[in-house]
Amino acid sequence: MALGMLGIPLPLLPTTPFLLLSAWLFARSSERFYLWLINHRYFGGAIRNYREKGGVARHVKNWAIALLWLTITLSATLVVSNWWVRGLLLVIASGVTVHISSLKTIKPNQ
């Protein structure tokens, strides 16, 4: 859970997989924490959509891709000086964009 929370501000640490793993583990170990996580104000809806409907809402995809590219671009231009590391960041961002785009899109009325 902590790694998922750290992934929010850190561009290369994934948030969603750690939160989904936390939900899966909590469902088997602690009903209290599981209910807290799936009813969380910010993360609950996305976790429920992914677990129950197998997809992600379009606005979540758009925000994820926009924030991904914003943080990768800022990191590549302000933090990293090696050209090959910049290229690697762009390759990673491209791969993550393709992955997010390939997830099933949940319509608001589903």
Phi, psi of 104 (to 5 degrees): -60, 135
Helices (H), 13-105: 16-29, 31-38, 44-48, 58-74, 83-102
**Tens digits of per-residue pLDDT, 13-32?**
777 778 888 888 888 888 88
Reported pTM: 0.69
CA atoms of 37 and 15, how far apart (whole Å)? 14
The low-confidence residues of the chain, meaning pLDDT below 70, are: 11-12, 109-110
